[in-house]
């Protein structure tokens, strides 16, 4: 107990508040710090254990793997792990942030926990004089299917598979992802966004608000996707900090829970 440093207590309290939004009840922040830290830290190991890739997937007779922790903030969706075609988050809301387009659209939505986090990210950007806009958030299975089919018909299936997700394999279906761009990048979703002032700010600051740049530079072999400096994924402040500072992919980080 005495080995707890102030820093570890604070970061463990952060974990508690991150988890409070998901599977855990809020932990009391007053009273004695050490019991709170211990409880949060064992809950956190349990949380990672429960969300380990090997424990959160079921494979059918045709070999199709479907994820089982659909509503977890660390749900792992990739080319090997599908969301069910029927999955739609229950708590989608439109965050109060600037978008690159006007009018209402399902793609303005995110899950509640991610929406309030992205509002904080945009407020911080504004404070730093960074002008970014949200381009695309939630996407249903059906919408993803039409995007992939269109890309495949234009570029061929192999190229489409590197740059867009197959239906059921998009993080946008989780409601935890948002594509972000800037006027300096023409509100386009291009790798050049990563070299703009705004793209650099996003890379340096996203983790403070619970987001990771999900498909990093030089991580193509690990994620299956080209570098996407515009695509942020909510995982919670503590985990985003760990993934970012250790330059990991979400896949690598979650493997630790096994
Ligand atoms: Zn995206």
**Pick the catalytic residue: 228, 242, 251, 255?**
228
**Average pLDDT of span 89-104:** 98
Class of domain 85-255: alpha beta
Range 36-69 burial, b when 16+ CB lie within 10 A, else e: bbeebbebbeebbeebbbeebbeeeeeeeebbeb
Helix (H/G/I), strand (E/B), else coil: 99: strand
Question: What pLDDT does residue 19 have?
Answer: 46
Helix (H/G/I), strand (E/B), else coil: 33: helix
pLDDT tens, position by position, 217-248: 999 889 988 899 999 999 999 999 999 999 99
Report the predicted TM-score, pTM, of the whole model to 2 decimal places.
Answer: 0.85
Cα–ligand 1 centroid distance for 18 (angstroms) = 23
Contact present, 41 and 1 (Cβ < 8 Å): no
Cα–ligand 1 centroid distance for 78 (angstroms) = 12
Q: Element (H or E) spanning 8, and its range?
A: helix 6-20
pLDDT-based confidence at residue 180 (cuts at 50, 70, 90): very high
Domain layout of the chain by residue ranges: 1-50, 85-255
Cα–ligand 1 centroid distance for 30 (angstroms) = 39
Q: Is 251 a catalytic residue?
A: no
Question: What pLDDT does residue 6 have?
Answer: 42
């Amino acid at each position: 107990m005495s080995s707890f440093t102030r820093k570890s207590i604070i970061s463990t309290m952060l974990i508690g508040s991150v988890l409070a939004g998901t599977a855990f009840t809020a932990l009391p922040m007053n009273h004695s710090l050490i019991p709170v830290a211990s409880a949060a830290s064992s809950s956190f190991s349990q949380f990672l254990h429960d969300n380990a890739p090997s424990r959160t997937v079921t494979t059918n007779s045709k070999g199709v793997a479907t994820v089982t922790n659909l509503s977890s903030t660390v749900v792992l969706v990739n080319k090997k792990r599908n969301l069910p075609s029927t999955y739609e988050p229950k708590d989608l809301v439109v965050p109060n942030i600037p978008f690159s387009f006007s009018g209402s659209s399902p793609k303005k939505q995110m899950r509640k926990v991610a929406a309030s986090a992205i509002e904080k990210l945009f407020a911080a950007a504004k404070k730093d004089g960074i002008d970014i806009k949200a381009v695309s958030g939630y996407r249903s299975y059906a919408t993803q299917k039409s995007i992939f089919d269109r890309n495949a018909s234009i570029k061929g299936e192999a190229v489409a598979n590197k740059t867009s997700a197959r239906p059921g394999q998009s993080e946008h279906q989780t409601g935890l992802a948002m594509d972000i761009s800037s006027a300096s990048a023409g509100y386009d979703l291009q790798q050049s966004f990563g070299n703009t002032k705004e793209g650099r700010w996003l890379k340096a600051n996203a983790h403070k608000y619970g987001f990771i740049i999900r498909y990093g530079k030089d991580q193509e072999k690990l994620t299956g996707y080209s570098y996407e400096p515009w695509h942020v994924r909510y995982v919670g402040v503590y985990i985003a900090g760990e993934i970012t500072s250790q330059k990991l992919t979400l896949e690598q980080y979650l493997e630790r829970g096994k």
